[in-house]
Chain A
Amino acid sequence: MIQHLTYPKLLLIILLMLPTFSFAQAVYEGQVLNKNTELAVPNVSVILLKQKTGTQTNTQGYFNLVTETPIPNDTLVFSSVGYQTYRLPVSGYQKQMFVLLEASNTQLNEVTITNQKIKVSVLDKFTWDNIKEVNSSFYKHFTRPFFALSSFAKLFTAPQANVLLTNVQLGRREFEGDATTNKFTRFLLHVQLVDSLTGAPGEVLFNKEVSLTDNSLKVTIDLSPDKIVIPHEKFFVVIEWLTIPYNEIITYRSIGFVEEINGNGHSVIKDEFRYYTYYQPFLISYEQTEYEQTKMSPTWEKINNKWGIRLRDMKNNIALSATIHY
């Protein structure tokens, strides 16, 4: 084939192919967490060293750096007061990655003066590597998107009554397969007590509309200003989906085959496709160890306005945790 091409034709082909090489936009996004506490680190400066462009992490520790003209072998530098600077060659960047920063020795320890020692506990804790998908030749860890048709509830058990609920953390991911993507979502968060008769979510202690505007995999919803005191040991954290246009995600799937008669009167088998609309957010369902499975919190789902215990796959947990102070 190539020997038939004259020099001008070959040159033309090369020229036509040039734009495909030059328009390689690069997107670097992820989250910066404290290596020890796994809490988000805000205000970290993220810089592309050679490119000399940069950004800062937001309250979720999330950064998004887009460059139209990427320079090869550039380095991402993460720096923040109180943390050791971390350098990452762009060749080592992974989509939606977690960057773990280690506190530097010079960091001043926060001084808190209280009459009695406050205990902090994360109920049904999940870690960053529970929710981060890995698909390499030597290690694989897959997650699945989880959404309920209207509401989902997880039962938490605190070590005692009258604890202060300071935050709720959840894993959030994209839908799987070929689907539209958008980083925005709004949903309702409720804290509810256990109904003494049915064991289902009962009296509502607290309501809040949560709005997410970035692609963070690990989302922290700060509830400390709301001063939620839970009067009993057991309580539910409830996520309620809003079926509004803002939460729409569209996907397209084959639904099988249909037989059609073509113009010549012959029967032809054709693929039939259909769009599906789903509503965000998609929480993360992840596989857990056998030991973790024994400690799993019961989950409930509201279907047709009625709460029922989720008949769940015991291997998988939904990434949703509650942090309490007592």
Chain B
Amino acid sequence: MIKKTLILISCIFSLSTQAQQKLNTFHLVDEETGLAIPSVSIAIVKARLSITTEKDGIFNIPGDLNKMRDTIIFSRQNYTSLKMPLRGLNGMDTIKLRKVQSEGKEVKTSFKNDTLLNNYEKLDIGYYAGLHTGYEEFNYLQLAEQFQSPKAGAMLKNVTINRLAFYLNKVSQYNYTEMEHTKFRIRVYDIDPVTGGPGKDLCNEIIEVKSNDQKKMNTNLKSYKIIIPNKTFFVAVEWLRDFYNLGLVQIYSPELKKTVNLVNYRPAIGLSPIKGKKLNIWALNINNEWKLYTYHSPDFTDLAIKAAVQY
């Protein structure tokens, strides 16, 4: 698996660099413990490249780093993001990320009311985000749905996400059918008072969801005891841009007069068939900035993500 990810990076890089190259290997470690950090998101801004490392936190960049005029961003839940020029990596072999100190909190666990936010009929879902944007690759790290809880201080109980998944008829070795596999992470955010978009994480633990046989993915979050301090909160899908989720999409472009092949990462997330009054979809771009996601505007305003809260 690691090999494949590295091959992928090398393939992409080899498009723009020379054939005979130096291979630079880096280890991503925790500043305090010195242990490897798994699944770190790495984005190279101008080149519009982004991958997620495997469990060992190792990544490779082929070529002469001194000649590269680009910016690299390392980001991971519970760690402070690190942004630096690619040249700055020259001579390094270890990159240290600083862990964010989590505050201990007391959590109220008895609630009177339950409510389901952003409900829709799953049969009516016909559109999906995460495959491509026009004739370009889908270059976002996360997509978030903005929710409005009836009361501040509510607890997030459950999240349901509808994804795009086909049944595959595999005939090469055995004749069998299976659904497309995927794994991703769920992130829960408070509102950022400045941008109005997703702000700080509301859950310090990593919520990883894996599915082999479901289009509708239901995740019980009760054990995480996620308290929503304000009425507005966000539930996001964080893609693991690794080999496991890798796919290819083909489209013919009448404007470009050719067929384009684009890399994508599963899962593509459904769009809610119900059109709301305002756009509630936010996207984290390769520069690590949250922006409103307007690709399906104004026809669609919400993602097919339901959230159940107790208050």
Identify the B interface with A (CB < 8 A): 123, 126-128, 131-132, 134, 164, 166-173, 180, 247-255, 257, 264, 268, 295-296, 299
B264 / chain A contacts, CB cutoff of 8 Å: 275
List, in ascending order, chain A residues with CB within 8 A of B249's CB: 250, 274-277
Say whether B250 contacts A276, CB under 8 Å.
Answer: yes
Q: Which residues of A contact B252 (CB under 8 A)?
A: 149
Q: Is the CB of A254 within 8 A of B169?
A: yes
* CB of B162, distance to nearest CB on chain A (Å): 12
Q: A254 near B168 (CB under 8 angstroms)?
A: yes
* A180/B164 in contact, CB under 8 A: yes
Contact B126 A182 (CB under 8 A): yes
* Cβ of A212 to closest chain B Cβ, rounded Å: 13
A188 → chain B closest CB, angstroms: 13
A243 with B255: CB separation less than 8 A: yes
Q: Which of A182, A252, A268, A276 contacts B168 (CB 8 A)?
A: A252
Residue in B164, B171, B253 whose beta carbon sits within 8 Å of that of A250 in the complex: B164
Q: How many residues belonging to A are interface residues under a CB distance threshold of 8 Å?
A: 30
A304 within 8 Å of B by Cβ?
yes
Residue in B166, B169, B170, B296 whose beta carbon sits within 8 Å of that of A245 in the complex: B296
The residues of A that contact B296 with a CB separation of less than 8 Å are 245-246
- List residues of A (242-280) whose CB comes within 8 Å of B's CBs: 243, 245-246, 248, 250-252, 254, 257, 268-271, 273-277
State in angstroms the CA–CA spacing of A257 and B180 once bound together: 17
| Residues A149 and B254 in contact in the complex (CB < 8 Å), given A180-B164, A245-B295, A248-B127 | yes
The interface residues of chain B lying within 8 Å CB-to-CB of A274 are 247-250
Can you give 11 A-B contacts (C-beta < 8 A)?
A149-B254, A241-B254, A243-B254, A246-B127, A254-B169, A269-B173, A273-B168, A274-B247, A274-B250, A275-B264, A304-B257
Q: How far is the CA of A246 from the CA of B128 in the complex (A)?
A: 10
Is residue A150 within 8 Å, beta carbon to beta carbon, of the partner chain?
Answer: yes
In the bound complex, CA of A271 to CA of B249 (Å): 16
A-B contacts besides A250-B128, A268-B173, A275-B250, 18 pairs, CB < 8 Å: A27-B123, A149-B254, A150-B254, A180-B126, A182-B127, A184-B126, A243-B134, A254-B169, A257-B172, A270-B173, A271-B171, A271-B172, A273-B247, A275-B247, A276-B250, A277-B131, A277-B249, A304-B257
Question: Separation in Å of the A149 CB from the closest CB of chain B?
Answer: 5
Q: What residue in chain B is nearest A150 (Cβ atoms)?
A: B254
Query: Which residues of A come within 8 Å of B, CB atoms?
Result: 25, 27, 149-150, 178, 180-184, 241, 243, 245-246, 248, 250-252, 254, 257, 268-271, 273-277, 304
Closest to A276 in B: B250
Nearest CB in chain B to that of A252: its residue: B166
- The residues of A that contact B169 with a CB separation of less than 8 Å are 254
Contact of B131 among A181, A273, A275 (CB under 8 A): A275
Is the pair B167, A178 in contact by a Cβ cutoff of 8 Å?
yes
